[in-house]
């Protein structure tokens, strides 16, 4: 228990030291352009509160799901020799489920931005 308290105390000390050093050593300036938003050399125009289509978030969720598939497959590729045929069959099942999901999303039109998605029957 005392090791946890000591660790917590060390973390609080370290965070305080880093924040104090950042405050003391940080830049002190207040030009008029300091508070203006700036990104990539393009001066922003209009409001930051723009309405974005739900389709954008839907595609983002699909990307996350299929990106995680790649992470799992890379981890499997690193341990393929130790897993043997059982691991190979498991990864085939995993890819089959994800492929079936992709086909389902394609059939209902969820990946097509030009038309509204159909409801499955």
Encode pLDDT of 93-102 as tens digits. Answer: 999 998 998 8
pLDDT at 49: 78
Would you say domain 54-107 falls under CATH 3.40.50.300? Answer: no
Q: Where are the domains of the chain?
A: 54-107
| pTM of the model as a whole | 0.48
* Separation in Å, CA 83 to CA 69, 74, 79, 114: 18, 13, 6, 44
105 touches 111 (CB < 8 A): yes
Residue 115 in 3-state DSSP?
Answer: coil
Q: Given pLDDT bands bounded at 50, 70 and 90, which one contains residue 11? A: very high
pLDDT digits 0-9 by tens, 15-50? 999 999 999 998 877 777 776 666 666 766 777 777
Expressed in angstroms, the distance from the first to the final Cα of the chain is 58
Long-range pairs for 62-66: beta carbons < 8 A, 24 or more residues apart: 62/105, 62/110, 62/111, 65/98, 65/101, 66/98, 66/102
Residue 46 in 3-state DSSP?
Answer: coil
108 touches 119 (CB < 8 A): yes
Cα–Cα distance, 69 to 97 (Å, whole number): 11
């Amino acid at each position: 228990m005392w090791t946890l308290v000591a660790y917590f105390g060390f973390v609080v000390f370290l965070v305080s030291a880093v924040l104090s050093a950042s405050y003391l050593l940080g830049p002190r300036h207040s030009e008029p352009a300091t508070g203006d938003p700036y990104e990539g050399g393009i001066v922003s125009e209009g409001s930051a509160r723009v309405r974005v289509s739900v389709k954008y978030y839907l595609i983002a969720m699909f990307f996350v799901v299929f990106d995680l598939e790649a992470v799992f497959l890379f981890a499997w590729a690193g341990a393929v020799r130790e897993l043997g045929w059982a691991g190979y069959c498991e990864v085939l099942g995993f890819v089959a489920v994800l492929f079936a999901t992709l086909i389902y999303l394609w059939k209902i039109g969820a990946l097509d931005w030009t038309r509204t998605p159909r409801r499955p029957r």
